[in-house]
Amino acid sequence: MSLQEPVLCQRIPTWPWGDPADRHLIGLDEYLSTGGYAALDKALAMQPTEVIAAVKESELRGRGGAGFPAGMKWGFLPPEDGKQRFLTVNADESEPGTFKDRLLLDFDPHLLLEGIAICMHACRLDTAYIYIRGEYHAQAKTLQKAVDESYKHNVFGENSKLGRINDRAPQCYVHRGAGAYICGEETALLESLEGKRGWPRNKPPFPAIAGAFARPTIINNVETLAIVPAIIDRGPAWFKSMGKDRPEGAPPAVPASFGPKLYGISGHVNRPGVYEDDLGIKVSTLIETHGQGMRGGKKFKGAIPGGISMGILGPDQYDAELDFDIGKKYGCLGLGTAGVIVMDEDTDMVAVARNICRFFSHESCGQCTPCREGTGWMYKLLTRIEAGGGTSKDIDLLLELSGSMGSMPGTTICGLADGANWAVRTIVNKFRADFEAKVRKKPHSRLRVLPVGVG
């Protein structure tokens, strides 16, 4: 444990600072009595450009998955033209193994609303939409109640303390999704917000130029905006005193992994849940300190570091550091949402890969052929291997398929296919023995070689 005091969880009792049994919804009065909205008042005393500069200086990176610097994203907006500009908050949280944003929505929604208001002031955005996951029924009601309270406190509305932005009264709306995984991708989210099918868009143009309703739009994750009030209140230097600096020898243009982070831990641990700690803590620390060790005293076999699309850590990567450089150091796609799924020695990795592929095949929007067909074929291959009907050639075919689909090889619009192929590739490469044990070594009897020109 390296974090000295909770930041995002300052009002939410969380081990080791408080007992989760004492958690309750923080209403407006309690939020104000514990310093809430003081950071907004401080931000309003600053010029919008000064607020953006503070966020840039903090090197805050997005907590939704990609880890893109938030201040840099805010700086991409074009100059004001007097027309409507949007903030879209990604509260979809549909990545399997991820439930960190839910903690904030359940118990401290005003922290998010304060971050939203600061962002609207800094970026001169007059309308905010909180796009919340369709399955978050209770959370949507809790959030709407907090939004209603914020209007009464003049955070938003005709009498907003933000003043008029683009000659409009600042507004904030809760928009409920329909439960599609792909709507966690920012442009698919925008399509859904506009009432259309949740299909990712080709880029450019990027949302900062033409986002919601073809107007300049900033898209940020719940946790990203929730940490902004603390940065404004305590300063960028305070924020950078936590977390992990950029890799040694890396140029200043390479963003660091500063600040606190919410980690969700699930799977084969004694105490699953959401915990707050510095960026860069080790997987072993998360399991042994926060998770109270492996369930049943079993041995660690592997862990998915940030939602299933990030790939997997092997048994020799128990001490992997959970920061934004985890992908380069440990052969994963990245940190993602820091939703860590822990697996013990009895876990069948073939079944894990098959289940992941089943999910991605089902959730593919179908717009790109390599993803629509590739995820389905990988699922069929893994189902055959798991059932004992595969051959060693099927494993090679699986790796070949996974290496030829996704936005990284340039065959799809969004990264859903990358999430599927990274999961499969890392599981097969790091646990190949599990796959070899399930296949027959001779060629598959149903396969035959056709003469040239036949078929």
What's the topology of domain 20-243? Rossmann fold (3.40.50)
The enclosing H or E element of 90 equals strand 86-91
User: CB under 8 Å to 237, separation ≥6 — which residues?
Assistant: none
| Residue 255, pLDDT score | 87
Is it the case that residue 195 has pLDDT exceeding 90?
yes
Question: In this predicted structure, what is the pLDDT of residue 448?
Answer: 46
Report d(CA 58, CA 62) in Å as an integer.
Answer: 12
- For residue 254, name the pLDDT band (cuts at 50, 70, 90): confident
Q: Please enumerate in sequence order all residues whose Cβ is within 8 A of that of 32, keeping only pairs 6 or more positions apart, or say none.
A: 153
Interval 106-124 mean pLDDT: 98
C-alpha 357/C-alpha 379 separation (Å) is 5
Instruction: Read off the tokens for 455.
Output: 């078929």
Instruction: Give pLDDT tens digits for 290-329.
Output: 999 999 999 999 999 999 999 999 999 999 999 999 998 9
Peptide bond into 48 cis (omega under 30): no
CA dist 92 and 158 (Å) reads 28
Tokens representing 226? Answer: 């929730």
Give mean pLDDT, residues 342-357: 97
Which distant-in-sequence residues (6+ apart) come within 8 Å of 51 by Cβ?
Answer: 43, 118, 121, 122, 232
What is the mean pLDDT of the segment spanning 391-401? 93
pLDDT at position 141 is: 98
Rounded average pLDDT over 229-246:
96
In this structure, what are the phi and psi dihedrals at residue 321, rounded to the nearest 5 degrees? -90, 130
Give 363's contacts (C-beta < 8 A, 6+ positions apart).
180, 181, 182, 416
Please give the structure tokens belonging to residue 116.
Answer: 């939203």
Q: Residue 18 pLDDT more than 70?
A: yes
Q: Do domains 20-243 and 349-436 have the same CATH topology?
A: no
Which two structure tokens, joined as six digits, stand for 309? 């699309």
Give the residue among 106, 95, 274 at the shortest CA–CA distance from 182.
Answer: 95
Give the rounded distance of the alpha carbon of 54 from its chain centre.
23
Contact 127, 170 (CB under 8 A): yes
Q: Where are the domains of the chain?
A: 20-243, 259-344, 349-436
Q: What pLDDT score does 245 carry? A: 92
Would you say residue 149 has pLDDT above 90?
A: yes
Nearest-Å Rg of the Cα atoms of the chain is: 23
pLDDT exceeds cutoff 80 at 451: no
| pLDDT value of position 441 | 62
Name residues whose C-beta falls within 8 Å of residue 308's C-beta, 6 or more positions apart in sequence.
Answer: 95, 96, 97, 341, 356, 359, 419, 423
For residue 141, give both structure tokens. Answer: 């009601």
CB 99, CB 306: distance < 8 Å: no
| Unique residue bearing structure tokens 């603390």 | 230
Residues 225 and 206: their CA atoms lie apart, in Å, by 20
Question: Per-residue confidence at 246, pLDDT binned at 50, 70, 90?
Answer: confident
The confidence band for 253, taking pLDDT boundaries of 50, 70 and 90, is confident
Distance between first and last Cα of the chain: 63
Specify whether the backbone of 223 is left (phi greater than 0), alpha (psi in -120 to 50) or beta: alpha
Give residue 249's pLDDT. 77
Residues 6+ apart with CB under 8 A from 37: 31, 110, 114, 153, 155
Give the C-alpha separation, 353 to 426, whole Å.
Answer: 10
Q: What is the pLDDT of residue 252?
A: 80
The amino acid occupying position 372 is: R
Distance CA 341, CA 334 (A): 14
pLDDT of residue 248: 80
Q: Is 366 exposed, middle or buried (0-12, 13-18, 19+ CB in 10 A)?
A: exposed
The CATH class for the domain spanning 349-436 reads mainly alpha
Domain made up of 259-344: CATH architecture: Roll (3.10)
Mean pLDDT of the chain: 94
Judged by DSSP in three states, 395 sits in helix
The pLDDT score that the predictor gives to residue 66 is: 85
The string of pLDDT tens digits covering residues 71-85 is 999 999 999 999 999
pLDDT tens per residue across span 36-81: 999 999 999 999 999 999 999 999 999 998 899 999 999 999 999 9
Q: Which pLDDT does position 287 carry in this prediction?
A: 98
> Alpha-carbon distance 6 to 16, whole Å?
9
Dihedral sign, Cα of residue 274, residue 275, residue 281, residue 286: negative
- Is pLDDT of 447 > 80? no
CA–CA dist 161, 163 (Å, integer): 5
